Amino acid sequence: MFKIICYSVLPNETAAFKALNTDGYALKLVAEPLTAQNLMMAQGNNAVLLADNGPVDREMLTQLAAWGIKYVFTRTTDCDFFDFEAADELNQVISRIPVSDRDADNTDKIAISFANFKAIRTTGEPMNEIYA
């Protein structure tokens, strides 16, 4: 089973995550944004899904890679908070959604993110822009 930890999940998004999870991912929904202090919660997952613009630095990516986490996606269009050099060196895939926040509501962003994970599982590549 493909396990995804989702950080920065708002209370009103929980139902959408469950309803849109038609591929049966094992989801771990976390209200807090990803930080160095709660990074440990990602251990045991296959992927990380973010919804914030907090820094994802080399140290965090290195730890995720050590746990076998290759996919770190965001439900935002902005990705400048990732250390792309580190992700590239660690052979990690960083991806975002291809629509701006003003053009998509939270449900749309969740659906696009799930489609991105489905593309990874079926083709080996996300359907959206690859950053590393």
The CATH homologous superfamily of the domain defined by 3-123:
NAD(P)-binding Rossmann-like Domain (3.40.50.720)
Count CB-CB contacts under 10 A for residue 120. 20
Contact 127, 78 (CB under 8 A): no
Q: What is the pLDDT of residues 109-119, one digit of tens each?
A: 777 676 766 76
Identify the band that residue 97 occupies on the pLDDT scale cut at 50, 70 and 90.
confident
Name the residue with tokens 């959604």: 97
Identify the band that residue 95 occupies on the pLDDT scale cut at 50, 70 and 90.
confident
Average pLDDT over every residue of 53-60? 90
**Domain boundaries along the sequence of the chain:** 3-123
77-to-21, 28, 72, 84 alpha-carbon distances in Å: 21, 22, 14, 15
Q: What is the pTM of this model?
A: 0.83
Please give the share of the chain, as a percent, with pLDDT higher than 90: 50
Q: What is the pLDDT of residues 20-36, one digit of tens each?
A: 888 889 999 999 999 99
